[in-house]
Structure 1
Amino acid sequence: MVAAQPVGGSVADSITSTGPSPVLPPGPHLPAFVQGLGFVTRRRQTLAAFARRYGPAFTLRIPLFGKVVVIADPTMAKQLFTTPTDQVANVRPNLGRILGDGSMFALEGTDHRRRRKLLTPPLHGRRIKQYEAVVAEEFDAEARTWRMGTEFATLEPMMRVTLNVILRTVFGADGRELDTLRDIIPPLVTVGSRLASTPDIPFSLGRLDPRRSFVTRRQIYVDTLAALITKAREDPRLHERDDILALMLQSTYDDGSSMTDAEIGDELLTLLVAGHETTATTLAWAIERLQRNPDVLRRLVDEADEGGSELRMATIMEIQRSRPVIDLAGRHVVTDLLELGQYRIPQGYNVLVAISLLHDDSRQFADPERFDPDRFVGSQPGQAWLPFGGGTRRCIGAAFAHMEMDVVLRSMLRDFVIEPTANNGEAWHSRGVAYSPRRGGRVTLRRRTTAV
């Protein structure tokens, strides 16, 4: 282990203070350009190499996030995620710059807590139980288009399933509005994901500028949502609807105030971006993993036929551990010095939790390279398992995402035979924010003759 070092050299700016001096983890003395190139082009491999060299905490300068401390220690991660909001804010920049000022990503402190409290009920408990039938219907509709005995990539079909689920459960959309959103959301999410993971360019690239495409599609989204809001407010049975848009229009904060239409639009777009692509990508990874682990697959089929779910839920957790779609979560230091473990991190730094490094750590998960759902059977994940982040900014849609994945996998196991393969596992592919199987989670299916 390399000892902590005071701020200085090529890793951090010198800081003059009458109080305690900053103490940062060690880090490479490579030029910032070289560090950034590795981070942008081969992020997972670069972070793993630095962790092997410097241990579970190191300091970098990288594009977009600037001065950064990366941590891969569960105790420090928990400490970071439970630090009061007057000391740390959401990582900067974040998806709020893409999704809008009304997005939960952009809110801080009291505003964030109020919004989270308002939106939690529709995404938990009995409410999401009602949405299971919608997920099953959308999966069945998509699955009817699949050609049996022919290998195909599952990522795009899963994207269509999760998109349609969100459009129905979140927007209550139908007819022309549903068709419009179905057309514009996939490219909007794709472009937005790439913009969110790259620094802003101080000049326009004209027709080639992805920001131009994003702004155009976002305006279509805004106009479509305005029509949906107007239609909802005119609906005499609005109080009977269970879609999240209807619930937002009827919900109020503790002081009696309501969300503005612009805030509703930003928040609904947030639910789309944060939940649509990530859930579909995890499902594609699930198919990629299961066909390479036939013993687990066989046990899952037997369990599904018997009406069980324990192994299936453990499998979902193991997929999220071994193939995390989002590999970083973080905070921005707003206090003068943040005490984190043995370090004192100065104001202006981002602290990034390297989720993939934690999930691959043999000290946290025995034999981490082995796909082993049994590690989660009969036990809950520990504090090193962080596919949804942690603390007050843990993904608000985590329960909804698990429900979707459970219903889709149950349907696949009951209705189809997933052909095992001896091919090597698919490599990781960065889609901007999310990591997907490079070949899209390709699989060959046969329909079961005696589906349960």
Structure 2
Amino acid sequence: MSEAVVVQPPTEVPTPPRAVRLPPRPPIPKPLLAVAFSISRSWTVARLARRYGPAFTLNLPVFGPTVVLGEPSLAKQLFAANTDDVGNIQPNLSRVLGPGSVFALDGAEHRKRRRLLTPPFHGRSIKNYEAIFEEETLREAANWPQGQAFETLEPMMRITLNAILRAVFGADGEQLDELRRIIPPWVTLGSRVASLPAPSRTYSRFSPWGRLAEYRRQYDAVVERLIARVAADPDLESRDDVLALLLRSTYEDGSAMSHKDIGDELLTLLAAGHETTASTMAWVFERITRHPQVLARLVEEAATDAGEYRQATLAEVQRARTVIDFAGRHVYAPTVEIGEWVIPQGHSILASISLMHDRSEEWADPDRFDPQRHLGTRPPTFAFLPFGGGTRRCVGAVFANVEMDIVLRTVLRHFEIDTTTAPGEKVYSRGVAYTPRDGGRMVVHRRDTPLAQENR
């Protein structure tokens, strides 16, 4: 009887990584590049793209060797890449927000946290917060001067801060007042130092990093008391603030988030949604006061239950005045292929959102402010990235869009807004976000018409 022959499967030979092939590198000294990036990243990137095309290599302060991408097809490949090969950019905002922030997580841990954070920001959940957005807008607008120009950025900062503290933190009373005091200077300072090299120690409370550490100690104390209060609330199961939803949520193995991680995540949601949303709204008012036809159509729509043109206007503002100008990743695999380029381990990759939003191939006459281009059609997926893309797209995107929609609708219903022929405000960098240099100034007059009375 013959012996059975066992056929062994062929041994798989791992495919060797392809030879590194980087996009062209402009011959710019690193100190000069550092100055250009600190003054205006988007301006620098736009001029380099005109000369070197949709992909080029830079040696940047903090991020090191970096490939910048400015073409939607390249961004699509980056965002679709295996998350074990391409993770979050290093360093990132977790330096300011804490190790429990979603910014600090990669791979499986990041996917688990995203699944936990997504339900509180589902469209049906956000519907519960619309009354808060309107209340905070009316509260702030009660003090607006009439007939004289004022900056809208700071009022929008207060609206978005209070809305997030109520809707996300579930804060009121003493905790609300304390967080109102701590958060604004912390977010402003953190935004400015986020892209700077972190020192090995904080030195003292008089240094920026020392002041950040002190704000963090104050925040942790307040939030721990807030978490304890919400956790002990007999009505916890019926609360709809995000903090309560996180306290009720568990991972697939039944475990819950630690209080420290919840604190980091709440701060992340606030930092990501406070300054950026307020900055966008300041640009909204800056833009519509310079486009009378757009403003007239918005006012007409605000008298109804419709909102398509308002949404189109918000989208066009986010395209034409990009507040966050890039989405970054870090290469962990030996190499990663993006288009014709082979990028090695240790490199950063920046998808330039500002370049995507300014491409004439996808946006006819991109310098023209035209909400009409967003009506009746979906923008090209990877040419419109106001909230980033891929698995790291902003989890609070729906929250921010609904908030901006309600704030704009409320202002339109209760105020007449003057138009102006003044030149558009220049772009100003606050560190992370870009805002109108003069704060998005406008002139308003309170309505005493059925439009306002019907919506009181």
TM-score normalised over the length of structure 1? 0.95
1:38 matched to 2:36? The reply is: yes
Shift of 1:363: 1.1
Alignment-derived partner of residue 307 in structure 2: 309
Q: 5+ unaligned residues in a row in structure 2: which ranges?
A: 1-14, 452-456
Match of 1:28 among 19, 26, 39: 26
* Partner Cα separation in structure 2 for residue 246 and residue 205 of structure 1: 37
Match of 2:345 among 338, 344, 347: 347
* Partner Cα separation in structure 1 for residue 19 and residue 412 of structure 2: 57
Alignment-derived partner of residue 387 in structure 2: 388
Q: Is the 8 A contact 1:414 1:451 kept in 2?
A: no
* Partner Cα separation in structure 1 for residue 109 and residue 365 of structure 2: 42
| 1:147-202 superposed Cα distances (whole Å, 9 cap, x missing partner) | 11111000000010000100101111111111000111000101111121212234
* Partner Cα separation in structure 1 for residue 256 and residue 281 of structure 2: 35
Alignment-derived partner of residue 409 in structure 2: 410
Q: Is the 8 A contact 2:286 2:425 kept in 1?
A: yes
Shift of 1:341: 0.2
Alignment-derived partner of residue 91 in structure 2: 93
Match of 1:240 among 238, 241, 244: 238
Alignment-derived partner of residue 358 in structure 1: 356
Corresponding residue pairs, total: 436
Alignment-derived partner of residue 144 in structure 1: 142
* Partner Cα separation in structure 1 for residue 216 and residue 276 of structure 2: 20
Shift of 1:306: 2.6
Alignment-derived partner of residue 432 in structure 1: 431
Q: Is the 8 A contact 1:36 1:61 kept in 2?
A: no
Distance 1:342-1:228 versus aligned 2 partners, 3 A rule: same
* Partner Cα separation in structure 1 for residue 208 and residue 170 of structure 2: 29
- SS of residue in 2 equivalent to 1:131: helix
Shift of 1:449: 2.2
- 1:254-333 to structure 2, matched below 5 A, reads 254-333=252-331
Alignment-derived partner of residue 105 in structure 2: 107
- SS of residue in 2 equivalent to 1:77: helix
Residue identity matched to 1:156: E
* The 10-residue stretch of structure 1 (344-353 or 29-38) with the greater mean CA deviation from structure 2: 29-38
Alignment-derived partner of residue 448 in structure 2: 449
1:68 matched to 2:74? The reply is: no
Alignment-derived partner of residue 3 in structure 2: none
* Partner Cα separation in structure 1 for residue 379 and residue 163 of structure 2: 27
Shift of 1:206: 4.0
Residue identity matched to 2:306: G
Q: Is the 8 A contact 2:17 2:334 kept in 1?
A: no
* Partner Cα separation in structure 2 for residue 206 and residue 173 of structure 1: 31
Shift of 1:19: 4.5
* Partner Cα separation in structure 2 for residue 239 and residue 20 of structure 1: 54
Query: Matched residues, percent identical?
Result: 55
- SS of residue in 1 equivalent to 2:104: coil
Distance 1:239-1:207 versus aligned 2 partners, 3 A rule: closer
4+ residue stretches of structure 1 with deviation over 6 A? none
* Partner Cα separation in structure 2 for residue 233 and residue 195 of structure 1: 34
Q: Is the 8 A contact 2:182 2:215 kept in 1?
A: yes
* Partner Cα separation in structure 1 for residue 203 and residue 171 of structure 2: 35
Q: 5+ unaligned residues in a row in structure 1: which ranges?
A: 1-16
Alignment-derived partner of residue 13 in structure 1: none
- SS of residue in 1 equivalent to 2:278: helix
Match of 1:193 among 191, 194, 197: 191
* Partner Cα separation in structure 2 for residue 336 and residue 75 of structure 1: 22
Q: Is the 8 A contact 1:338 1:346 kept in 2?
A: yes
Q: Is the 8 A contact 1:415 1:451 kept in 2?
A: no
Residue identity matched to 1:408: V
Residue identity matched to 1:164: N
Distance 1:204-1:163 versus aligned 2 partners, 3 A rule: closer
* Partner Cα separation in structure 2 for residue 377 and residue 251 of structure 1: 38
* Partner Cα separation in structure 1 for residue 436 and residue 227 of structure 2: 37
* Partner Cα separation in structure 1 for residue 17 and residue 367 of structure 2: 45
Shift of 1:20: 2.4
| 1:336-358 superposed Cα distances (whole Å, 9 cap, x missing partner) | 11000000000000000111111
TM-score normalised over the length of structure 2? 0.94
Q: Is the 8 A contact 1:96 1:106 kept in 2?
A: yes
Q: Is the 8 A contact 2:17 2:335 kept in 1?
A: no
- 1:67-216 to structure 2, matched below 5 A, reads 67-202=65-200, 206-216=204-214
Distance 1:54-1:235 versus aligned 2 partners, 3 A rule: same
Distance 1:19-1:223 versus aligned 2 partners, 3 A rule: closer
Shift of 1:444: 0.5
Residue identity matched to 1:351: I
- SS of residue in 2 equivalent to 1:211: helix
Distance 1:38-1:248 versus aligned 2 partners, 3 A rule: same
Alignment-derived partner of residue 225 in structure 1: 223
Alignment-derived partner of residue 12 in structure 1: none
